[in-house]
Amino acid sequence: MDILYEYFIVPLMRNGWFNPVNSVAYGIGLVVGIWAVFTLLKKVDVKVNNGLFIAFTPFIAFAGVTRTLRDYIYYSASGQPGFLSSFTGYMSSMQGTAYDYIYGVTGNTFVAAIDSYIIAWFPTPGSYLITFMLALFSLSVSLAVRHYAKIDCWKTMFFMGMIFFVTNASLLPVNTLLPLAYIGSVTLAWTCIFFGITYASGRNMFTRFGKKISESMKEIFTRTNSMVLSAHFFDATATFFAIAMFTTLGGQGYTEQHFLSRWMMPYLGPGVMFLLKFVVVVPVLWYIDRFSENKDLNRFLKLAVFVLGAAPAARNLVRLMVGV
């Protein structure tokens, strides 16, 4: 129980802190979850295509804004006496503060009751589990709609995801759009670079550097891979600006939650995020392309990698706009 408390409960009470033990456990759970979801999609005959990518987009955005909403509630509740004295007291304070805030904004007891529990349990792994359950519920509805109304599943899922996203996005007290200007412009630049390489490699513009390099560039920088890389460099950009330029409403600086990048930053600075993204994500994409012969599995694995970059990126950007 001491290990459970130290490596899992305490990080939750610290608003989702990562250490080697919970990172490995969550990683194993992620692998199992990815395989289970892929098996489910095949069983219900849902194609893994661009439509599924589009369908997941509002759920990624929902996760980002809901995680930021939780950060704001955590900031508001942390001043209460005995806030971190016990896990039950901590969760009760989070849920109560969330309910009061949401009811104050919406005046709706049903929304406040449901959303307050979601927010209280939303740090990792809760954010992925809750978002997955909402996506699974939306998929179930979309399958019924497909059966009776002949509407593609991804359209219904996208519509339902937008409802979840807009509901929680409307609750955020946005203070500034400056982070959107900084992070959006740099992310756009990275996206142009990656898709520029995709365009150039597709037209064999790297043959001057040798056939091997030209073929490698063409294999790595496919359109899907460039989209995944853009999502992860969006995350790296948001983290970089958060640590280098911004502070919270309380005047405190932002810190990195993941233990590896947190350990490296004192030596290489926040720019290490770009290096880590490149040396981790590119080999993962290469491995997926090299050893995944099933096209549906290949696309779904890349969708999972895309989510792992886009979801925290959305959270980091919106958090800076709120200032928590």
Measure the CA–CA gap between 62 and 165, rounded to whole angstroms.
4
Please report the pLDDT score of residue 59 as a whole number.
92
Pick from 156, 168, 166, 124: nearest CA to 307: 124
Rg for the chain (alpha carbons), in Å? 21
Classify residue 83 as exposed, middle or buried by CB count within 10 Å of its CB (0-12, 13-18, 19+).
Answer: middle
Range name among 87-96, 236-245, 289-298 with the lowest pLDDT average: 289-298
Every domain of the chain and the residues it spans: 1-173, 177-324
Per-residue pLDDT of 163-198, as tens digits, reads 999 999 999 988 889 999 999 999 999 999 999 999
- Tokens 């990195």, residue located: 256
Please report the pLDDT score of residue 264 as a whole number.
77
Per-residue pLDDT of 7-17, as tens digits, reads 788 777 777 77
Per-residue pLDDT of 130-165, as tens digits, reads 998 999 999 999 999 998 998 989 999 999 999 999
44 φ/ψ angles, rounded to the nearest 5 degrees: -95, 10
Q: Quick check: 1 pLDDT over 60?
A: no
Kindly list the distances between the CA atom of residue 158 and the CA atoms of 20, 76, 150, 277, in Å, as whole numbers in the listed order: 35, 32, 16, 28
- Tokens 């980091």, residue located: 316
Pick from 214, 177, 200, 187: nearest CA to 274: 187
Q: Quick check: 207 pLDDT over 80?
A: no
Measure the CA–CA gap between 248 and 33, rounded to whole angstroms.
34
Interhelix angle 109-120/153-169, rounded to 10 degrees, is 90
Q: Quick check: 293 pLDDT over 70?
A: yes
Give the total residue count for the chain.
Answer: 324
Measure the CA–CA gap between 180 and 173, rounded to whole angstroms.
15
Measure the CA–CA gap between 81 and 121, rounded to whole angstroms.
21
Measure the CA–CA gap between 66 and 127, rounded to whole angstroms.
8
Average pLDDT over every residue of 82-108: 89
Which of 39-48, 63-72, 222-231, 256-265 has the highest mean predicted lDDT (pLDDT)?
222-231
Provide the whole-model pTM: 0.83
Give every CB contact of residue 242 below 8 A, 6+ residues apart in sequence.
Answer: 179, 254, 316, 319, 320
The three-state secondary structure class of 253 is: strand
Residue 11 is encoded by which pair of tokens?
């990080």
Residue 250's pLDDT band, with cuts at 50, 70 and 90, is low
The three-state secondary structure class of 279 is: helix
Is 231:313 a contact under the CB 8 Å cutoff?
yes
Residue 34's pLDDT band, with cuts at 50, 70 and 90, is confident
Please report the pLDDT score of residue 187 as a whole number.
96
